[in-house]
């Protein structure tokens, strides 16, 4: 009986507020960076988050940025394909 009590006390019952806060911070950081640096690639965004903002645990790679931005920021950030390299170049939506 005592063991079951400990297990139920240690399980998380929150609504994911910390996870949501991290997501919102990540979205804000990406939008701020693209606003100040139009023409940024996914590698530029990841380098900014890792080195400048010290968000080393954000979990995004250049490949994941390509999926993250259309999923969460499609109304705020658009991209065009660079004709020479084929990379996505991000800019704020008009």
Q: Tens place of pLDDT for every residue, the chain, 94 residues?
A: 555 544 444 455 557 788 888 889 899 999 999 999 999 999 999 999 888 887 777 778 889 999 999 999 999 999 999 999 999 999 999 8
CA distance readout (Å), 57 to 24, 46, 49, 85: 15, 11, 10, 29
**pLDDT score recorded for residue 7:** 47
With a threshold of 0.75, does the pTM exceed it? yes
**pLDDT score recorded for residue 81:** 94
């Amino acid at each position: 009986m005592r063991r079951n009590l400990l297990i139920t006390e240690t399980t998380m019952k929150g609504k994911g507020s910390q996870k949501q806060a991290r997501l919102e911070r990540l979205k804000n950081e990406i939008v701020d960076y693209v606003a100040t640096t139009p023409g940024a690639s996914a590698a530029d965004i990841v380098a900014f988050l890792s080195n400048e903002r010290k968000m080393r645990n954000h979990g995004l790679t250049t490949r994941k940025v390509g999926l993250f931005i259309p999923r969460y920021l499609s109304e705020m950030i658009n991209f065009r394909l660079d004709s020479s390299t084929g990379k996505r170049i991000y800019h704020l939506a008009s």
